[in-house]
Structure 1
């Protein structure tokens, strides 16, 4: 079986780890591909930084800092301190020394002319990830936040420096109109037996993937069922500040509202199925009314067992949709 996951960041990383664990326990021949959001990427000190990809890379490799939720475990920050002194990096964005090694390697390969897809392959080859990571696009499509007052700012500045507190009116990926899905992402979607939308930020992690020209078309004609997992439980985000992103585009912070935001594939949207938490079981009927088959299951991914169980529940819903 071929499983393709769409998303990025910590929520996606935890879900993919759970899917990998489920696959290992189930046995048999299975392949996991992940189409990763690249719109969080940006340039710092002349280095290309890719937060959503690196969260997946480090988590699947088992070298992530689980307490902070980002970066490498056992980090030091001597180089970051020097960059701050020299004024080549903002003091509100700190990168660890091991993490900087990744960014230096990535940037060196990009400057040699390698595509983002090839850089993903080289970085992923270092560890046995149990999954193949693909950028949504090889083009640069950095997200900028449209503010209620003032000029747009890069998403990382809004997210990290201002903690999503500056009133926003929307999000734009610069250059996305000239982008195209990378071949690996298209192949992963076309060959999938199941397509899973991770419990990632629906606006700035999943949204930019879907906004790449040609990506929605590929998903629309895919033969695999598309099942999403809510990152909203009991009206609150599981992690991060997705509620601020949803508010900026006029979407309520609820599992039902996010399902409606994605839309039913039968009506030109994204989803065939949607998992909500048991605490949101009352939303199941409303989600079904908009053409999406919904189920309520435990969504909290606390450890390997609960994460693997969630992946199994997602695959069970997908099997029922075939």
Structure 2
């Protein structure tokens, strides 16, 4: 698979499935080591005594080619003996851990208990899986996304997985974010003099990107850097490509549209990539959000789609790809 001649480093901010699609495209068209993906860890939690990092694992599986293209999450060719045995012991199975997936969680938990940071563990895992791009957590400190709903405050996984996003959202909080420190690898990538582009992947702005931006120093690093910041809309023609983004926006009193996402990122980004289906909204977004927009095919069904969008995004850095 050929790489582009892109003279510089790239940083991508990503959540799970939606962001991982573009991260995969960037990984495939850039040379090994050119891309650093800073990943949301607000979804992290403990389950069956194990430290689970869902978005990090999605990036690990996607970039290593181990992801399950049918379910859209977890590892391909997974087996479920562990979960069946836990069910026989009366344990709830609302959060599924496959047998192969379990190995990652056991090793992560063991290393963290031995004193390693989440950054060190994640780097070990990505190297073991043969991933050339760098994957770093947003912070080595715990940050917990909590969703305020009409049923009360819910931890993210209980809202997202256990309750299938059914409760009406009234607010979102990132517990621990004020005290969290930017992970050393993330800080170094953003301060790298060779950094040529920062990409905000098409992840849920409120649940996946905002936790990353809530870590002290992250927003300042984006604003202070010389590299342009390009965001890709997760909304196409008023609908979310994946997940509850549009539903949440409506419940929070916002119009589910690419224009609204552009306004959410206004003051932080230089360019906003919308799908061709929203190309007619360019002028409205430029005027209403103060953000310059570019229309491109953003629906990523295949690897070629991911790579094509990656090339378009890289071209927005103003260098020849």
2:227 equivalent to 1:224: yes
- Contact 1:37–1:135 (8 Å) recurs in 2: yes
User: Is 1:158 aligned to 2:159, yes or no?
Assistant: yes
In the TM superposition, what is the alpha-carbon distance from 1:32 to its structure 2 partner? 0.4
In structure 1, C-alpha distance between the alignment counterparts of 2:74 and 2:185, rounded to whole Å: 26
Describe the SS at the equivalent of 1:140: coil
| Aligned Cα root-mean-square deviation (Å) | 1.5
1:119 to 121, 125, 134: 121
Structure 2 gaps, min length 5: 1-7
What is the Cα deviation at residue 134 of structure 1?
A: 0.7
Unaligned runs of 5+ in 1: 264-268
Q: Is the 8 A contact 2:27 2:63 kept in 1?
A: no
2-structure distance, mates of 1:245, 1:109: 36
d(CA) in 1 for partners of 2:136, 2:318: 25
Asked if the contact 1:190/1:223 (under 8 Å) is kept, the reply is no
Residue 173, structure 1, aligned to residue 183, structure 2: no
2:219 and 2:209 map into 1 onto residues whose CA distance is 12
- Number of residue pairs matched by the alignment: 309
Q: Answer yes or no: is the 8 Å Cα contact 2:196–2:317 preserved in 1.
A: no
1:92 to 91, 94, 103: 94
1:41-75 deviation line (CA, Å, top 9, x unaligned): 11001001111110110011111111101111111
**When the two structures are superposed, what TM-score results if normalisation uses the length of structure 1?**
0.92
Query: Does 2:91 match 1:80?
Result: no
The separation in 2 between residues aligned to 1:20 and 1:217, in whole angstroms, is 26
Residue 248 of structure 1 deviates from its aligned partner by 4.0
What's the secondary structure of 1:319's corresponding residue? coil
What is the rounded CA distance, in whole Å, between the counterparts of 1:213 and 1:30 in structure 2?
A: 26
Question: Alpha-carbon deviations, 1:69-116, whole Å to 9, x = none?
Answer: 11111111111122233345x321111011011000000001001111
Match of 2:4 in 1: none
Partner of 1:266: none
Q: How does 1:1-322 map to 2 (within 5 A)?
A: 1-23=8-30, 31-88=34-91, 90-150=92-152, 152-191=153-192, 192-263=195-266, 269-289=267-287, 290-319=289-318
CA–CA separation in structure 2 for the residues paired with 1:8 and 1:170? 19
Aligned equivalents of 1:316, 1:108: Cα separation in 2:
42
TM-score, normalised relative to structure 2: 0.92
Looking at structure 1, the residues matched to 196 and 22 of structure 2 have their Cα atoms a distance apart, in angstroms, of 18
Q: Distance in 1 between matches of 2:253 and 2:141?
A: 28
